[in-house]
């Protein structure tokens, strides 16, 4: 089955940056999906069931925390690995992220190497 990564951010350049960071995974047959807000992200997650989601916290329509909560708690999609990305690094935000079921919480600006390694780890690509 094809592995999928969903990249969610309301800023196009950040979506592109993450996609470029992960582009070597395309050789492994990984498909990239993108969304510019939480509502679209939730629809894509329901339909496509991505293996991994890089999810921005601060977004219009529905923020990343809410998307994460719905996916993990309401839809019970525990298998979807969610990495919350945020400019806020405070401990309170990190705890909130854990509360809504995020698997990992990363602060921006992020290290591309860390993003790539995390994706490889989650998808089981050596």
Going from N- to C-terminal start, the domains of the chain cover 4-123
Q: Compute the CA torsion angle 10, 21, 121, 43 (nearest 10 deg).
A: 30
What is the C-alpha radius of gyration for the chain, rounded to an integer number of angstroms?
13
pLDDT of residue 118: 96
pLDDT of residue 5: 98
Tell me the sheet residues that pair with 82. 53
User: Digits of tens for pLDDT over the chain (126 positions)?
Assistant: 799 999 999 999 999 999 999 999 999 999 999 999 999 999 999 999 999 999 999 998 999 999 999 999 999 999 999 999 988 767 888 889 999 999 999 988 889 999 999 999 999 998
What are the structure tokens assigned to 1, written together? Answer: 């089955």
Residue 79 is given by DSSP the state T
Instruction: Please give the model's pTM, rounded to 2 decimal places.
Output: 0.95
What are the structure tokens assigned to 63, written together? Answer: 């923020």
> What are the φ/ψ torsions at residue 112 (nearest 5 degrees)?
-55, -35
Residues 103-122 pLDDT 10s: 999 988 889 999 999 999 99
Nearest to 18 by CA among 55, 49, 50, 57: 55
Question: Structurally, what CATH architecture does the domain formed by 4-123 represent?
Answer: 3-Layer(aba) Sandwich (3.40)
pLDDT of residue 108: 85
């Amino acid at each position: 089955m094809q592995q999928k990564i969903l990249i969610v951010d309301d800023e196009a350049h950040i979506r592109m940056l993450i996609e470029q960071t992960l582009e070597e995974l395309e050789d492994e047959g990984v498909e990239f999906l993108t969304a510019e807000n939480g509502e679209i992200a939730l629809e894509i997650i329901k339909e496509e069931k991505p293996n991994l989601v890089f999810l921005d916290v601060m977004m219009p329509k529905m923020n990343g925390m809410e998307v994460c909560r719905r996916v993990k708690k309401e839809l019970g999609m525990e298998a979807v690995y969610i990495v919350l990305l945020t400019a806020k690094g405070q401990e309170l935000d990190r705890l909130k992220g854990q509360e809504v079921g995020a698997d990992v919480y990363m602060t921006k600006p992020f290290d591309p190497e860390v993003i790539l390694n995390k994706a490889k780890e989650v998808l089981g690509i050596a």
